[in-house]
Amino acid sequence: MYLPKHFRADDTQTRELLDGVQAGDLITATTSGLWATFLPLLHVDGALLGHVARANDHWRREAVGESLVIIHGPDGYITPSWYAAKAEHGRVVPTWNYLTAHVYGNLVIHDDPAWLERLVRALTARHEGRRPEPWQVDDAPRDYLDAQLRAIVGVELSITRVEAKAKLGVQRSAADVDGVIGGLAERGDAQLAAATARGRPRAQ
């Protein structure tokens, strides 16, 4: 990853990206070329856990070296009209701000119904838990659930290193950052506005 020092995410931003992951791009270099799959994920004990369709050849391919998961945080277009500097000297241009993490590790395959059921229950609890009347795995007939579990294969990225990037423009003047936060909030981009506010340097 191209990662200038001033865009390097701090430990808090990195942890929030990992713990908040909902889905990501799993990319593996294999003996038959690059394979990529977008899949739901959980971060648990130094690993990213997910599952792919059994029909997806990604899990069958022999990996060459580490695999990579790309986690996407909030992102969005930044207009120079939000910068106080536009009125001061006009030397501003548009950009795109974002949070992202490239997570590297060794890919482990789990073709085990018990492991898969634990994962499916954990994923379901995470996402359904926000609903007033959450659906539960046990709402489905057991024979149907067993058939669905046979149709998927588990993947685990055992994390070896993380490169996280916070390109939020917080190195700009306080007035410019305030303008961006206000503009994002007005546009309804609350997540990116909040990330920008949290990422700005604290006054000493």
Walk along the chain (204 residues) and give the pLDDT tens digit of each residue. Answer: 999 999 999 999 999 999 999 999 999 999 999 999 999 999 999 999 999 999 999 999 999 999 999 999 999 999 999 999 998 998 999 999 999 999 999 999 999 999 999 999 999 999 999 899 999 999 999 999 999 999 999 999 999 999 999 999 999 999 999 999 999 999 999 999 999 999 987 654
**pLDDT reported for residue 203:** 54
Q: What is the pTM of this model?
A: 0.92
Is 194 contained in some domain? Answer: no
**pLDDT reported for residue 141:** 97
d(CA 99, CA 166): 5
Q: What CATH number is associated with residue 109?
A: 2.30.110.10
Domain count, the chain: 1
Is 130 contained in some domain? Answer: yes
How far does CA 73 lie from the centroid of its chain? Answer: 5
Is 166 contained in some domain? Answer: yes
For residue 132, the enclosing domain spans 5-76+93-172
Is 193 contained in some domain? Answer: no
**pLDDT reported for residue 201:** 76
**pLDDT reported for residue 128:** 95
Residue 62 phi, psi dihedral angles, 5° rounding: -75, 120
Q: Could you tell me which of 203, 197, 192, 202 has the C-alpha nearest to residue 98? A: 192
**pLDDT reported for residue 204:** 42
